[in-house]
């Protein structure tokens, strides 16, 4: 694969530091909350309904599945995810400051509970291997297209119907596929913008003049775009 | 007419840029102003607008603002059921523009008019913020370039209007809007930045010497810094040779052409209680932190000084007695869907219509006034509604090669720089000028000509589902097998690699006035208040098409210098499309254009009352106490975004109105 030398620095994050970005992401969210008060404070309800602190294996499985599908750290998907080193499936999914996971979990389950159950089982069967999860997910059409819908949820904050994805899956298809923005919060947390080292249009926590410099410019300590976001390992 | 009319000194219809500025200038002087606004008033904050924007499935320029665009099933709402409707991007798509059940504008073609506006307090706040002065020759097209051509369609502006005369009014507008720019960088093509020295002398003769010392103008704030892509374009431009750019007909060395920051009403530092731009990449539709000026800011100051804003009040008829306007009737409503809930009238000494270049002629033409005067209000010239212009917008998008440093789109204001030096030159005798915008939003709305949605959604969907709507999912560009469907880290890395090299540019092309490009009233279709909707006939001339051809050639040249692959396509069903033969090539080139949202020309100004509607003060030739303001008065549009010029002209009109009232005592 031909690769731009300029992309070298944001390759796959070393597996030894999967939890490093967690504190960063939490902080970024807090900064965003402060900076974009007009945009956010009244728009977004304060996240974190009273969720039980006790482990929810289904939610943990969903997060592990999502990390494998998106290639993004669990700690970015759910910033207060508390890893149980001995038993990953009994980890605490956390009441995190972003907390779109509950909306996504509910949306995917509502689409097709049986297939969603199969996907969770895949994650439970392979809780530590993204490769194994992806292989298992792609084994059947039902799981494959619901998995794609889940990726698009995390990347874009929008719901694409798995049936529409299947209908348009002939290689090279060019077509419009309708989608629905899940919530205001889901749009502002879309991962594709961070993956592009940018921010959702209309929702940024960066500061005046940052656009004149490259992301992660060492002279710009406020720009933390895409710091260690991408991973091929889970959790 | 309702029994008890509201009495005031000055009645203004419309609370957008021109209306708000005039209301504020006059209110500050203690003049009693009433403003009629067709849509809702100023909300206490913009949270509701932001929520609507974030939640919108189609984040089009109108998406944050009421009234609702679509119903609960995402179907467009029939404009017959909207009290104060407006054109929207969604209703102007190729399959919709000719359907009156979906499009507010009734379009008879042959080409679609694809620009939009808002109807609510503050007017069209979904503007970019670009605040350019016109160049001197923009005001003198006929004299400068058409003297010996009898069929040259671009007239001069009134004799009184020149770059130098406008300079102090531009300065006042720049102060009110809060413009960030560097004068040295903007001093090209002889744009005048001189101060109004005579005025200073009159004011304070003793300080005259000090004033002279301080004669160099500065913008209210320093310039907005350029994006990485701007810098890359600057590098590419520096490689051009005179031979390569001969087709432009500049007749000056290409080395004089530069990428320059665009003057923008966007704070580069805290200004008048608003913070500096944080680069949310969302000037259109809405700045989440109001670092970009919008007219609600001035409107609030006007109402704080006593101006009265009446919202949900649609002006329906201008009344004329003895050649003077004697009142304006309006209709009130409560719900977006109507119906009419009441009516009212306002009586003033002076009347100002500031309802944009489609709604203003609509109101003038609606004012039947028992057939007095015969051709309608202010229309003895028969020019009301004619000469509709825009800046037809040619866009092109490309991908930088993998060997190039990424340019990282979706960072910074939507547009930070442009190429303005190409907007004037001897070529204007033969073809339309253009101004180049360098976009910081990747392939956002341009991808695949907009046929399959917007980016980064389309590119993401392509690589998740093995599709190729946007054109990138082939081995040539992805370095993977064709139509790959990716998951996991491979997906994330591929999207990072491709999106960070995407860019687009746009060309604002001058459109010459054509009396057949026209706003009239639909004889058939009305809105929920039973008022006739605007009917539009529109086309572009060969003069303008040749400007688009030059833009196309400039695109190819710039892309080759950047080493970029051109992904520009014209969708099959694009009704703006036209084919041209370039350099005798047997295969015609497919070109097209979009709307820039710069609606101009429909009640143009001029010295001759037989060929124009208003004079240089924007006062109607026909009615001494009626002014028409906004870009509808522009005889020609140049290539500069019209907002700053219409704001400067509004300042001059405000002075004129204050003078009128003073002389009346």
Q: Whose CA is closest to B114, among B132, B138, B134, B98?
A: B98
Per-residue pLDDT at B44? 94
Query: Of A145-154, B314-323, B367-376, B502-511, which range is least confident?
Result: B367-376
Residues from chain B that touch A135, judged by Cβ atoms under 8 A, are none
What three-state secondary structure class fits B356?
helix
Structure tokens at B88: 């929207």
pLDDT at B65 over 70: yes
Query: Is the pTM for the entire model greater than 0.80?
Result: yes
Structure tokens at B372: 């007095």
**Domain enclosing residue B15, as ranges:** 6-39+119-129+293-389+599-664
Cβ distance of B228 and A201 shorter than 8 Å: no
pLDDT at B640 over 50: yes
Answer yes or no: is B274 within a domain: no
User: Residue B447 — φ and ψ, nearest 5°?
Assistant: -50, 130
Cβ distance of A192 and B411 shorter than 8 Å: no
* Half-sphere exposure in the Cβ direction for B33 (13 Å, CA): 32
Whether B422 and B436 have beta carbons less than 8 Å apart is answered as yes
ipTM of the complex: 0.94
Distance CA B83, CA B167 (A): 40
Cβ distance of B482 and A171 shorter than 8 Å: yes
Whether B266 and A182 have beta carbons less than 8 Å apart is answered as no
Whether B345 and B8 have beta carbons less than 8 Å apart is answered as no
Whether B625 and B125 have beta carbons less than 8 Å apart is answered as no
pLDDT-derived band of residue B198, with 50, 70 and 90 as boundaries?
A: low
Per-residue pLDDT at B370? 81
Distance CA B147, CA A185 (A): 59
Whether residue B307 is found in the same domain as residue B211: no
CB proximity under 8 Å: A 134-153 to B: 134, 137-138, 147-148, 151-152
Distance CA B34, CA B27 (A): 10
Residues from chain B that touch A222, judged by Cβ atoms under 8 A, are none
Distance CA A91, CA A161 (A): 30
Q: Whose structure tokens read 């003769």? A: B205
Give the chain B residue whose CA is nearest to the CA of A185.
B54
Give the chain A residue whose CA is nearest to the CA of B56.
A181
* pLDDT tens digits, one per residue of A25-79: 333 333 333 333 334 333 444 444 444 456 689 999 999 999 999 999 998 899 8
- Residue among A42, A210, A232 whose CB faces B488 most closely: A232
Per-residue pLDDT at A28? 38
Cβ distance of B280 and A199 shorter than 8 Å: yes
CA–CA min distance B195, chain A (Å): 30
Share of chain B above pLDDT 90, in %: 93
* Gap between the terminal Cα atoms of chain A: 26
pLDDT top residue among B406 and A18: B406
Cβ distance of A208 and B268 shorter than 8 Å: yes
**Domain final residue, candidates B191, B218, B245:** B218
CA–CA min distance A52, chain B (Å): 29
Residue B25's contacts (CB-CB under 8 Å, 6 or more residues apart) are: B650, B651, B654, B655, B658
Cβ distance of B54 and A184 shorter than 8 Å: yes
- Looking at residues B150-175, what average pLDDT do you find? 97
* pLDDT tens digits, one per residue of B598-632: 999 999 999 999 999 999 999 999 999 999 999 99
The count of other CB atoms within 10 Å of the CB of residue B270 is 12
Give the chain A residue whose CA is nearest to the CA of B489.
A71
Per-residue pLDDT at B665? 67
Per-residue pLDDT at A224? 57
pLDDT at B95 over 70: yes
Kindly report the average pLDDT of chain B as a whole number: 95
Answer yes or no: is B369 within a domain: yes
- Looking at residues B329-344, what average pLDDT do you find? 97
Cβ distance of B290 and A71 shorter than 8 Å: no
Mutate to test the interface with A, among B284, B442, B496 (most CBs of A within 10 A): B496
Whether residue B123 is found in the same domain as residue B16: yes
Distance CA B64, CA B107 (A): 25
What's the CATH code of the domain at B622? 3.50.50.60
Residues in chain B: 665
Q: Whose CA is closest to A155, among A131, A183, A189?
A: A189
Give yes or no for a cis peptide into B339 (omega within 30° of 0).
Answer: yes
Answer yes or no: is B345 within a domain: yes
Whether residue B202 is found in the same domain as residue B306: no
Per-residue pLDDT at A220? 64
Q: What is the pLDDT along chain A (235 residues), one digit of tens a residue?
A: 333 434 433 333 333 333 333 333 333 333 333 333 334 333 444 444 444 456 689 999 999 999 999 999 998 899 888 888 788 888 888 877 788 999 999 999 999 999 999 999 999 999 999 999 999 999 999 999 999 999 999 999 999 999 999 999 999 999 999 999 999 999 999 999 999 999 999 999 999 999 999 997 666 666 655 557 888 887 6
CB proximity under 8 Å: A 115-134 to B: 130, 134
Cβ distance of B55 and A184 shorter than 8 Å: yes
The count of other CB atoms within 10 Å of the CB of residue B159 is 12
* DSSP states along B35-81: EE-SS----SSSHHHHHHHHH-SS--TTTTSSSPSB-TTSPBPPGGG
Distance CA B512, CA B16 (A): 25
Bridge partners of B519, per DSSP, are B536
What three-state secondary structure class fits B422?
helix
pLDDT at B203 over 80: no
pLDDT at B2 over 70: no
* DSSP states along B518-561: EEEEEEEEE-TTSPEEEEEEE---HHHHHHHHHHHHHHHHHHHH
Render the burial of B640-660: b for 16+ CB within 10 Å, e for the rest.
bbbbbbbbbbbbbbbbbbbeb
Exposed/middle/buried for residue B214 (C-beta within 10 Å: 0-12, 13-18, 19+): exposed
* Gap between the terminal Cα atoms of chain B: 28
Is B488 an interface residue toward A (CB < 8 Å)? yes
Render the burial of A158-189: b for 16+ CB within 10 Å, e for the rest.
bbbbbebbbebbeeebbeebebebbbbbbbbb
Whether B31 and B10 have beta carbons less than 8 Å apart is answered as yes
Whether A213 and A219 have beta carbons less than 8 Å apart is answered as yes
Distance CA B263, CA B435 (A): 14
Kindly state the greatest CA–CA separation across chain A.
Answer: 51
Cβ distance of B491 and A71 shorter than 8 Å: yes
Cβ distance of B453 and A215 shorter than 8 Å: no
Answer yes or no: is B108 within a domain: no
- Looking at residues B494-512, what average pLDDT do you find? 97
What three-state secondary structure class fits B305?
coil
Domain count, chain B: 2
Cβ distance of A158 and B457 shorter than 8 Å: yes
- Looking at residues B90-113, what average pLDDT do you find? 97
Structural domain spans, chain A: 17-42+53-212
Per-residue pLDDT at A219? 62
- Looking at residues B30-50, what average pLDDT do you find? 97
Q: Whose CA is closest to B500, among B404, B408, B366, B401?
A: B408
Answer yes or no: is B540 within a domain: no
Structure tokens at B398: 């490309």
Whether residue B203 is found in the same domain as residue B307: no
* pLDDT tens digits, one per residue of B419-463: 999 999 999 999 999 999 999 999 999 999 999 999 999 999 999
Answer yes or no: is B474 within a domain: no
Structure tokens at A227: 């710091």
């Amino acid at each position: 694969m031909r690769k731009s030398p300029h992309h070298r620095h944001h390759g796959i994050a070393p597996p030894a530091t999967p939890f490093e970005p967690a504190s960063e992401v939490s902080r970024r969210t807090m900064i965003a909350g402060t900076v974009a008060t007009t945009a956010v404070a009244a728009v977004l309800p304060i996240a974190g309904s009273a969720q039980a602190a006790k482990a929810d294996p289904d939610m943990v499985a969903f997060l592990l599945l999502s990390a494998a599908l998106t290639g993004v750290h669990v700690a970015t998907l759910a910033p207060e995810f508390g890893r149980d080193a001995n038993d990953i499936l009994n980890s605490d999914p956390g009441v995190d400051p972003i907390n779109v996971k509950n909306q996504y979990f509910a949306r995917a389950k509502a689409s097709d509970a049986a297939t969603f159950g199969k996907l969770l089982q895949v994650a439970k069967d392979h809780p530590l291997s993204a490769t194994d999860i992806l292989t298992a997910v792609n084994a059947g059409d039902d799981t494959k297209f619901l998995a794609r819908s889940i990726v698009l949820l995390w990347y874009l904050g929008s719901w694409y119907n798995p049936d529409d994805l299947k209908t348009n899956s002939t290689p090279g298809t060019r077509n419009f596929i309708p989608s629905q923005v899940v919530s205001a919060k889901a749009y502002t947390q879309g991962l594709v913008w961070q993956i592009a080292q940018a921010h959702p249009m209309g929702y940024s926590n960066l500061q005046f003049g940052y656009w004149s410099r490259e992301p992660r410019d060492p002279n710009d300590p406020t720009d933390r775009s895409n710091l260690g976001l991408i991973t091929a390992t889970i959790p | 007419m309702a029994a008890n009319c509201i009495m005031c000194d000055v009645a203004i219809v419309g609370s957008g840029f021109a209306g708000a500025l005039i209301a504020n200038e006059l209110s500050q002087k203690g003049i009693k102003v009433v403003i009629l606004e067709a849509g809702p008033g100023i909300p206490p904050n913009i949270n509701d607008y932001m929520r609507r924007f974030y939640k919108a499935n189609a984040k089009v320029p109108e998406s944050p603002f009421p009234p609702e665009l679509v119903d609960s099933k995402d179907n467009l709402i029939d404009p017959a059921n909207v009290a104060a409707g407006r054109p929207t991007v969604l209703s102007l798509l190729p399959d919709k523009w000719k359907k009156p059940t979906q499009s507010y504008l009734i379009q008879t073609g042959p080409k679609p008019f694809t620009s939009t506006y808002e109807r609510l307090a503050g007017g069209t706040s979904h503007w970019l913020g670009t605040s350019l002065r016109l160049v001197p020759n923009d005001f003198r097209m006929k004299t400068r370039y058409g003297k010996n051509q009898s069929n040259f369609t671009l007239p001069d502006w009134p004799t009184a209007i020149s770059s130098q005369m406008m300079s102090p009014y531009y300065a006042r507008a720049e102060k009110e809007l809060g413009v960030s720019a560097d004068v040295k960088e903007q001093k090209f093509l002889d744009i005048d930045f001189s101060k109004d020295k005579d005025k200073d002398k009159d004011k304070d003769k003793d300080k005259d010497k000090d004033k002279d010392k301080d004669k160099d103008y500065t913008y209210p704030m320093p310039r907005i810094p350029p994006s990485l892509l701007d810098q890359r374009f600057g590098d590419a431009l520096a490689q051009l040779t005179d031979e390569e750019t001969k087709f432009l007909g500049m007749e000056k060395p290409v080395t004089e052409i530069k990428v320059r920051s665009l003057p923008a009403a966007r704070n580069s530092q805290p200004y008048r209680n608003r913070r500096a731009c944080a680069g949310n990449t969302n000037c259109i539709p809405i700045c989440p932190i109001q670092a970009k000026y919008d007219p609600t800011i001035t409107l609030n100051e006007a109402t704080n000084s006593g101006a009265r804003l009446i919202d949900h009040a649609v002006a329906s008829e201008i009344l004329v007695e003895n050649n003077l306007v004697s009142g304006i009737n309006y209709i009130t409503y409560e719900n977006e869907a109507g119906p009419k809930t009441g009516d009212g009238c306002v009586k003033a000494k002076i009347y100002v219509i500031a309802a944009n270049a489609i709604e203003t002629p609509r109101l003038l033409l609606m004012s039947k006034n028992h057939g007095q005067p015969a051709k309608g209000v202010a229309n003895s010239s028969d020019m009301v509604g004619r000469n509709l212009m825009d800046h037809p917008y040619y866009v092109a998008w490309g991908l930088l090669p993998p060997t190039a440093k990424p340019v990282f789109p979706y960072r910074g204001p939507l547009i930070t720089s442009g190429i303005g030096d190409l907007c004037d030159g001897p070529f204007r005798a033969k073809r339309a000028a253009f101004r180049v915008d360098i976009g910081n939003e990747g392939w956002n709305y341009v991808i695949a000509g907009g046929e399959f949605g917007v980016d980064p959604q389309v590119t993401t969907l392509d690589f998740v589902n093995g599709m190729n709507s946007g054109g990138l999912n082939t081995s040539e560009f992805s370095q993977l097998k064709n139509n790959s469907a990716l998951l996991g880290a491979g997906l994330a890395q591929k999207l990072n690699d491709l999106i960070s090299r995407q860019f687009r540019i746009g060309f604002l092309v001058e459109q010459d006035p054509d009396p057949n490009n026209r706003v009239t009233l639909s004889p058939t279709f009305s809105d929920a208040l039973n008022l006739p909707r605007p009917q539009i006939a529109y086309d572009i001339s060969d003069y303008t098409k040749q400007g688009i051809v030059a833009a196309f050639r400039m695109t190819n040249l710039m892309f080759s210098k950047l080493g970029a692959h051109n992904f520009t396509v014209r969708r099959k069903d694009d009704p703006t499309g036209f084919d041209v033969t370039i350099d005798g090539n047997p295969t015609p080139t497919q070109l097209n254009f979009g709307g820039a949202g710069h609606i101009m020309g429909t009640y143009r100004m001029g010295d001759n009352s037989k060929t124009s509607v208003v004079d240089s003060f924007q006062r109607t030739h026909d009615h001494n106490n009626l002014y028409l303001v906004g870009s509808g008065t522009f005889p020609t549009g140049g290539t500069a975004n019209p907002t700053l010029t219409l704001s400067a002209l509004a300042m001059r009109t405000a002075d004129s109105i204050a003078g009128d009232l003073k002389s009346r005592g």
